[in-house]
Amino acid sequence: MRVDLDYYEITGLYDEVRRFYSMVGEESRYLRFLAAVRDPASAYERMWSCGGRTFLVVQGRRPVALVDVTPCGEGEVEAGLVVVDSLQGRGYGTRIAEIFAALLPRLGFDAAIAEILRENAKALAIAKRLGASISCRGVVCTVKLNLRRLALKSSAVAAARAAMP
């Protein structure tokens, strides 16, 4: 899927977060936070106070997704992604995960980690597509993506494509 997506940082902007989550229902909130979250702003207050950053992904002026990245150890970042309900299942999540997998090494991270419910087939499919390691215990799976290895693989693929007649 090729779509023109842009993103900008909204860390600290509670009104932007609230506006975005008015387009995200209870089920998606649960899948994102692994908990029932009625007021997302409270979850963001905690995340941002721990050094987390939040990016709003847009297509033109239309909000598409939020990406949250919180440093969680040497070179590692915990990543969370939520696509607005009406746009889920159309390839946006896959494309956005690819964009941020390329961006995060430039922000100084070597690995991205996410906790994903075992039932969350779409999120796990994205993790598999990117080549993440996935280990599941009970209902929760921990996904770990080696960003440096992915970057090397992507540049090798690009070089092979460029060399094709």
Q: Is 116 in the site for ligand COA (CB under 6 A)?
A: yes
Of 111, 120, 130, 145, which one interacts with ligand COA (CB under 6 A)?
Answer: 120
Cβ–Cβ under 8 Å, residues 133 and 143? yes
Q: Is 90 in the site for ligand COA (CB under 6 A)?
A: yes
Cβ–Cβ under 8 Å, residues 141 and 115? yes
Of 88, 98, 105, 142, which one interacts with ligand COA (CB under 6 A)?
Answer: 88
Q: Which residues of 59-93 are buried (b: 16+ CB within 10 A; e: fewer)?
A: eeeebbbbbbbbbbeeebbbbbbbbbeebeeeebb
Span of 14-22, 52-60, 115-123, 145-153 interacting with ligand COA by CB under 6 A: 115-123
Distance between CA 58 and CA 128 in Å, rounded?
A: 25
Closest approach, Cβ 157 to ligand COA, in A, equals: 16
Backbone angles phi, psi at 155, to 5 degrees: -70, -30
Handedness of CA 78, 32, 9, 133 (dihedral sign): positive
Cβ–Cβ under 8 Å, residues 5 and 95? yes
Instruction: Pick out residues in 129-158 that bind ligand COA (CB under 6 A).
Output: 129
Q: Is 157 helix (H, G, I), strand (E, B) or coil?
A: helix
Closest approach, Cβ 68 to ligand COA, in A, equals: 8
Q: Is 83 in the site for ligand COA (CB under 6 A)?
A: yes
Task: Build a one-symbol-per-residue string for 25-54: x at contacts with ligand COA by CB under 6 A, - elsewhere.
Answer: ---x--xx----------------------
Closest approach, Cβ 31 to ligand COA, in A, equals: 3
Residues that bind ligand COA (CB under 6 A): 28, 31-32, 80-83, 88-94, 114, 116, 120-123, 125-126, 129
